[in-house]
Amino acid sequence: MLIGLSHIALNCVNIRRASERLARYGYENIFGEKQLYNHRLKMNMMANYVATHHIEYFISKGNMSIELISYGSLSGFQSPNMIPLMVKGDPCQEWQKVKIEDVPVAGSGMKLVAELFGVVPIMVYDPVLMLNFLWIKDYKKPPGFAACILPTSSLEKTRDVLSALRFSETRTGLWSILTPLSSLQATLIPVQYRDCGKWSYDPMLDSPGATCLALMASNTWQMQIPAQCEEHYAKFDLVVNNKNCHIIMAKPRHFPYVEFIQFTNDY
């Protein structure tokens, strides 16, 4: 059974600087693992497999939790399958505005985001996080990554995956996971993809950007994995933050990688 969001995984190279940047955005660091085993079953999901990786886990009230990951290097261009959306008042001085012709979102998608948030979104690049993301200027809400857009070449198939993962369309175009806990809430917005040549539509797990949507689950080993999530399938145990985890990873088509996580009492 799917319970809610665990985190959005953001790949980076300099995890110390990236952690400092998230702290500036109001995120709190909960735990980290500097030499976490990178299971060999993930090998076919990565361009450059390494035996260990460094993670740092962050939370922010009213926003989606973030796990920074450093594999030591990044492969290819950023994935457009999942692009974070940040709500924040003033922009950071280091941000670089992305030209509209380099935004992998059709005009209809940008219009939808503007209607949902009441502000025209702007795509910016943060050189510290090595991340392109949408920025919504808002001084009233707590700063942070409040949602993710899902640019896709098939809106219908992406919506099918969301439904299979227990997301529901709570407003026109806005999908939320069904959970009573606000800390496990996730907001995703499928939008029409526009090919602009500077993004990797078929990314690897170690590509730049937000490549993985991690969901909390129960009875993972007995869970019926949605048919849409059976591509590039891997199943393994891993100890994270002194807790044993049952983990299933999969890559649905027209969607980012999905990770199902269950904490157990076996450790």
pLDDT per position as a tens digit, 158-214: 999 999 888 999 999 999 987 877 778 899 999 999 998 789 888 899 999 999 999
Could you tell me the pLDDT band of residue 15, with boundaries at 50, 70 and 90? very high
Backbone torsions φ then ψ of 207, nearest 5 degrees: -75, 160
- Return the CATH number at 17: 3.10.180.10
| pTM attached to this predicted model | 0.94
Task: Report CA torsion sign: 195, 173, 57, 3.
Answer: negative
Query: Do strands 52-59 and 28-37 pair parallel, antiparallel, or not at all (unpaired)?
Result: antiparallel
Distances (CA, A) of 258 to 82, 118, 126, 193, 250: 11, 30, 24, 19, 5
Per the structure, the complete domain to which residue 68 belongs is given by 2-263
Per-residue pLDDT tens over the stretch 122-164: 999 999 999 999 999 999 999 999 999 999 999 999 999 999 8
Per-residue pLDDT tens over the stretch 49-94: 999 999 999 999 999 999 999 999 999 999 999 999 999 999 999 9
Task: Give the span between the Cα atoms of 105 and 110, in whole angstroms.
Answer: 7
Paired with 214 in beta bridges are 7, 259
CB 88 within 8 A of CB 29: no
Q: How many domains does the chain have?
A: 1
Beta strands in 38-82 (DSSP E): 52-59, 66-70
